[in-house]
Structure 1
Amino acid sequence: MPSRTRSVAPGAALATAVALLSPAGAYAAPGPAPAPGPSASGPSAPRSSASGPSASDPSASVPGGGPWTAAPAPGGEARPSAQDRPYFYLEGVPGAVLDDRLSLTNPGGSAVTLRLRGGPAGAGGWIATAGKEVRVPPRTRAAVPFTVTVPRDATPGDHPAALVAEGDGRTATVPVHLRVTGPVLAALSVEDVTVERRGSAAVIRYALVNRGNTTLTPRLAVDADGLFGPALRRAARTLPVTLPPGRRVPLTEPWPDPPALDSVNVRLTATAPGGARGTAAASYTAVPWSAAALPPAGLLAGAALWRVRRRRRAAGLRQGSPAAEAPQGPPQESYAASGTGARAGADA
């Protein structure tokens, strides 16, 4: 995993000193600097010092040019780079105090004052930085300690958070992936499935909800069966979304060639690593306006005839026959959605 975990024994104090080294000499953030508590992962975070930064909290001169940046601090004396951690990863039991360092780089020719806070709501409130404001001299990189205090009643699982730095007209957000150790539950549900017409095509609307306590990367399969056989088969594929615990995300599936005359049941099945699985269905009836007054037997006969003609047209297109020039599809139709997880109604 491209990250590291550092932990502090429960009840450890926050390190409030930040050492900043500029080309002209050392700079210490203003204010008192009480000594931090003991660390289970190594020495305590350093205090600010007029003689310069310590090896465990390096600050260094950086080339000039470009705006300031924020990123997870690398280990040792290394400078932050694209190959370093793209985010923080911290893990601990309820009641633990976890610590790490945020690297602030100012390559410009003027000092910048940056405001620091945790975000968003929820686990973002567990974050405390060494200072709410940090002044970074020109051409300087500063390592700012911070802690994450896990509440004793925190539920096991993933708790997404972030460190936010603001200043000089810019905002930078560094993700904090926090996991509270304990039993992990992967659970997923599919809700509010509906089918809506869009011209000659249709769209399937639905929502995915993470009902567990671990972050999910879901996969989705779509099946639709009508009175005359399968109408849609879409194999499971990974969706371009990430679901943190408790998150609800509305999504859509395009359906470019739905049947024009049929009663169809659409079923969505979502899965995710860890055994998460959810399914929901919706039914809709596609009826051309010209056929709306026909009796049920007439509708069935018309649907069968339409399906036969559709297959013949498809065969003609594949073989390059004159059937390719045949009129495309029946007249205007309407879709009425209903069933499990769907809202009943007609969309003309």
Structure 2
Amino acid sequence: MHPPTPPTTTAARTLAQSTVVVLLAALAFLGPGAGPAAAADSDLPWAVGTASNDFGSRRQNYSYTLNPGGRLKDGLVVVNRGTTPLHLAVYAADAFTSEEGKLDLVAKDAKSTGLGAWVRTDRPDVTARPRESVEVPFTVALPADAAPGEYMGGIVTSLTDGAGTNQQLGIRIRLRVGGELKPSLSVKNLQVRYTGTSNPFGKGEATVTYTIHNTGNTILTARQAASVSGPFGRFSVRAGQIDDSPQLLPGDTWKVSVPVHGVVPALRVSGTVTLVPLVIDASNSVAPLAAVETTTHAWTIPWAVLLLLAVVCGLVVAGLALRRRRRAADR
């Protein structure tokens, strides 16, 4: 299995990521004196959690369904686990798929155009005394022309120390905007590169590369399969097990490179990639959709065989020429 290559995202999404640590709520954690479920890093002096209200208590993250033009209010709880007062910036941000295949949030100075632009905190910062919990209300307000589909973002708390190092802790927000869902994946830039073998009668290796593009309006994961075959489907060879892609937000892309062993150099081969889109809802249930298949073609020149034929032809020609000279000498 190959290491996946980074997704294609807007340059602003990775702006200043080298000095930022963003953690999204995934597991329940009880900070000192905290009531709600919270996200925390043992190296940080604070934790964050969801407020307990009509949306529920001890939520691991935020999940909403709103129609265009809709509006709701919720809250973020900040827990100071340290022994000194803590002053944190608070803001919302769009999500993206990181180079490691995980959902992350754009930096504060990167412009959010989706969910991060629709969430507004009641204040830009918060101060918590030692062992104190403070709630920061926020509002989700959708524009009237918000496009249907799924969006991902988060509420972030940020601390910058005297050395300029920025640490962040946040909770994920998943939003479904009412309207028709259109899940769709496509394969772009499919290529097959063949590497021959020095054995004239042996098999070579091929590398299948392609880009998965989430062209729909839902969050999707792709189950993948790849194969290489000769003319009329003969000599078909499948790639090994390929891991599912990470969750891809609408518009995201993910580059893949897969080795295929034991490919017969049949002059012209076909490379086929099959994707099964997987819809994963907020409760983590998985629903597979109809498979998407894409094929391309490539030449696999058996150079070792051609070289062997050239040598044999040369020997035959040389033998015939020698035979003619001997006949001429015998006359």
| TM-score with structure 1 setting the length | 0.59
Measured after TM superposition, the shift of residue 145 of structure 1 is: 1.1
Contact 1:70 1:102 (8 Å CA) reproduced: no
For 1:69 and 1:89, how far apart are their aligned partners in 2? 23
- What fraction of aligned residue pairs are identical, expressed as a percent? 25
Instruction: Identify which of 45, 70, 73 aligns with 1:68.
Output: 45
For 1:187 and 1:240, how far apart are their aligned partners in 2? 14
2:127 aligns to what?
Answer: 135
Contact 1:70 1:165 (8 Å CA) reproduced: no
Within-5 A mapping of 1:30-45? none
2:101 aligns to what?
Answer: none
Contact 1:118 1:162 (8 Å CA) reproduced: yes
For 2:268, the aligned partner's letter is S
For 2:271, the aligned partner's letter is V
1:291 alignment partner, SS class = helix
Measured after TM superposition, the shift of residue 132 of structure 1 is: 0.2
Measured after TM superposition, the shift of residue 264 of structure 1 is: 1.4
What is the RMSD computed on CA atoms of the aligned residues? Answer: 3.2
Measured after TM superposition, the shift of residue 262 of structure 1 is: 4.3
Instruction: Identify which of 125, 136, 144 aligns with 1:144.
Output: 136
For 1:285 and 1:109, how far apart are their aligned partners in 2? 68
Instruction: Could you tell me which runs of 5 or more consecutive residues in structure 2 were left unpaired when the two chains were aligned.
Output: 1-30, 35-41, 95-111, 161-165, 197-203, 280-288, 313-331
Contact 1:188 1:277 (8 Å CA) reproduced: no
Measured after TM superposition, the shift of residue 67 of structure 1 is: 2.4
Whether 2:227 is the aligned partner of 1:223: answer yes
Contact 1:71 1:174 (8 Å CA) reproduced: yes
1:92 aligns to what?
Answer: 66
Measured after TM superposition, the shift of residue 178 of structure 1 is: 0.9
Instruction: Identify which of 290, 299, 306 aligns with 1:285.
Output: 299
For 1:158, the aligned partner's letter is E
Within-5 A mapping of 1:321-332? none
For 2:133 and 2:264, how far apart are their aligned partners in 1? 62
Instruction: Identify which of 271, 274, 284 aligns with 1:266.
Output: 271
For 1:175, the aligned partner's letter is R
Contact 1:215 1:245 (8 Å CA) reproduced: yes
- Residues 76-97 of structure 1: per-residue CA shift (max 9 Å, x gap): 6xxx9xxx43321111100111
Instruction: Identify which of 169, 172, 179 aligns with 1:172.
Output: 169
2:284 aligns to what?
Answer: none
Within-5 A mapping of 1:1-348? 61=33, 67-75=44-52, 84-120=58-94, 121-122=112-113, 123-168=115-160, 169-197=166-194, 201-227=205-231, 229-233=234-238, 239-273=244-278, 275=289, 277-292=291-306
Instruction: Could you tell me which runs of 5 or more consecutive residues in structure 1 were left unpaired when the two chains were aligned.
Output: 1-58, 299-348
Measured after TM superposition, the shift of residue 105 of structure 1 is: 1.4
2:236 alignment partner, SS class = strand
For 2:59, the aligned partner's letter is R
- Residues 280-339 of structure 1: per-residue CA shift (max 9 Å, x gap): 2121222233334689xx9xxxxxxxxxxxxxxxxxxxxxxxxxxxxxxxxxxxxxxxxx
Contact 1:66 1:108 (8 Å CA) reproduced: no
1:256 alignment partner, SS class = strand
Measured after TM superposition, the shift of residue 268 of structure 1 is: 0.9
For 1:264, the aligned partner's letter is V
2:117 alignment partner, SS class = helix
Q: Does the C-alpha gap of structure 1 residues 189 and 266 become closer, same or farther in structure 2, counting only changes over 3 Å? A: same
Q: Does the C-alpha gap of structure 1 residues 71 and 257 become closer, same or farther in structure 2, counting only changes over 3 Å? A: farther
Q: How many residues align?
A: 232
For 1:240 and 1:70, how far apart are their aligned partners in 2? 30
For 2:235 and 2:51, how far apart are their aligned partners in 1? 55
Contact 1:71 1:87 (8 Å CA) reproduced: no
For 1:189, the aligned partner's letter is S
For 1:279 and 1:215, how far apart are their aligned partners in 2? 20
2:220 alignment partner, SS class = coil
For 2:295, the aligned partner's letter is A
1:213 alignment partner, SS class = coil
Contact 1:219 1:236 (8 Å CA) reproduced: no
